[in-house]
């Protein structure tokens, strides 16, 4: 099925049509800067402009950087607080809406390193915040929010996100030390069989992964930062299929 995937991030909103059988982007992706403030109406306008750009009439999947349950936004740590309580699925014209890290995780589980993996797999995205997607035998446990684990008296994402590296002017090695400590904590809690590191930083994995030592195998995301778009499209395709059955 061909589905338009749109990934809403703290700095950019990216979209492209996706072949959900292969996980391939069908056209070059379009990126628009996230409006400031990132209030619901302003973001909805950008989402609508991406739909128009691709002249799209088919199903649409959209990611959101917060907890999303049944299309309704429950938290907004890194975007405008006005999102809390908004029916995002309705606002985006009936699109399937899900958490950004869950979407990235679904894409990795279907087309990337998590493919065919049984047991507990964690996909952690490092960007403006830290996002998490937890899988058990390939099934997603949605909205896990492991970026907000309390660590050194703070939300972990305030110490170890990619934004924290930039804001605190940390070298890759210094940042890797923080990421390793966080990952050890997560490892202790979940005993995963694989941890996949996603988000924009996954493209620069060679700069920090060699400094991180864990007992759990650690892989950079295979889909780099296209994973959100692909996962959003994949979720919408699944949604369309289940609706068809019901
Ligand atoms: C949000 C998560 C999101 C993550 C990455 C966190 O601050 O609470 O829902 O997945 O950032 O964007």
DSSP state of 128: S
Q: pLDDT, tens digit, for every residue of 76-120?
A: 999 999 999 999 999 999 999 999 999 999 999 999 988 888 999
Within a domain: 146: yes
- 160 and 89, same domain (yes or no): no
> Residue 200: its pLDDT value, please?
86
- Read off the tokens for 199: 């988000």
Q: Give residue-wise pLDDT tens across range 143-178.
A: 999 999 998 899 999 999 999 999 999 999 999 999
Global model pTM greater than 0.85: yes
Backbone angles phi, psi at 59, to 5 degrees: -65, 150
Q: Are residues 46 and 134 in the same domain?
A: no
What CATH number does the domain containing 186 carry? 3.30.420.40
Residue 128 shares a structural domain with residue 32: no
Backbone angles phi, psi at 195, to 5 degrees: -120, 130
DSSP secondary-structure letter at 8? E
Rg (CA), the chain: 17
Query: Cα separation of 244 and 144, whole Å?
Result: 28
Total domains in the fold of the chain = 2
The predicted-structure confidence for 35-58, as pLDDT tens digits, reads as follows 999 999 999 999 999 999 999 999
**Distance in Å, CA 200 to ligand 1 centroid:** 14
Index of the ligand 1 atom closest to the CA of residue 155: 7
Q: Residue ranges of the alpha helices (H) in 79-225?
A: 88-91, 100-111, 156-160, 162-167, 172-190, 205-208
Is residue 113 a contact partner of residue 222, using CB atoms and an 8 Å limit?
A: yes
**Structural domain boundaries enclosing 19:** 2-103+226-242
Question: Using CA atoms, how far apart are residues 119 and 137, in angstroms rounded to an integer?
Answer: 5
Rounded Cα distance between 101 and 67, Å, is 10
Beta bridge partners of 16: 5
Task: Give residues with Cβ within 8 angstroms of 40, minimum separation 6.
Answer: 80, 82, 83, 86, 88, 91
* Judgement on whether residues 123 and 29 belong to the same structural domain of the protein: no
Query: Do 233 and 214 belong to one domain?
Result: no
Q: Do you find a cis peptide bond into 14, omega within 30 degrees of 0?
A: no
pLDDT of 178-222, one tens digit each? 999 999 999 999 999 999 999 989 889 999 999 999 999 999 999
Ligand 1 is surrounded, with C-beta below 6 A, by: 65-67, 75, 77-78, 99-101, 125, 127-129, 131, 145, 147, 157
Residue 108 included in any domain = no
The atom of ligand 1 lying closest to the CA of 9 is 12
Cα 37 from chain centroid (whole Å): 21
* CB-CB contact of 51 with 42 (8 Å): no
Judgement on whether residues 122 and 214 belong to the same structural domain of the protein: yes
Angle between helices 227-245 and 100-111 (to 10 degrees): 90
Q: Are residues 236 and 188 located together in one domain of the fold?
A: no
> Are 166 and 217 in the same domain?
yes
Statement to judge: residues 179 and 233 lie in one domain: no
Judge if 213 and 231 occupy the same domain: no
3-state secondary structure of 167: helix
Rounded distance from Cα 77 to ligand 1 centre (Å): 7
């Amino acid at each position: 099925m061909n589905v338009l995937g749109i990934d809403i991030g703290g700095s950019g909103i990216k979209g492209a049509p996706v072949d959900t059988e292969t996980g391939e982007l069908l056209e070059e992706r379009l990126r628009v800067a996230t409006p400031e403030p990132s209030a619901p109406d302003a973001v909805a306008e950008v989402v609508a402009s991406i739909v128009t750009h691709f002249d799209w009439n088919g199903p649409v999947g959209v990611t959101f950087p917060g907890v999303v349950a049944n299309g309704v936004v429950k938290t907004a740590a890194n975007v405008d607080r006005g999102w809390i309580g908004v029916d995002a699925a309705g606002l985006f014209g009936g699109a399937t809406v899900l958490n950004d890290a869950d979407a990235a995780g679904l894409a990795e589980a279907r087309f990337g390193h998590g493919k065919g993996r049984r047991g507990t797999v964690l996909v952690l995205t490092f960007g403006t915040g830290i996002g998490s997607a937890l899988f058990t035998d390939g099934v997603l446990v949605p909205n896990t929010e492991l970026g907000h684990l309390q660590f050194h008296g703070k939300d972990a994402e305030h110490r170890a996100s990619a934004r924290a590296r930039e804001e605190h002017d940390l070298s890759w090695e210094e940042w890797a030390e923080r990421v390793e400590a966080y990952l050890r904590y997560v490892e202790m809690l979940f005993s995963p069989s694989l941890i996949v590191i996603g988000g924009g930083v996954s493209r620069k994995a060679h700069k920090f992964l060699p400094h991180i030592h864990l007992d759990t195998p650690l892989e950079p995301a295979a889909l780099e930062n296209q994973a959100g778009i692909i996962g959003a499209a994949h979720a919408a395709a699944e949604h369309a299929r289940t609706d068809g059955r019901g």
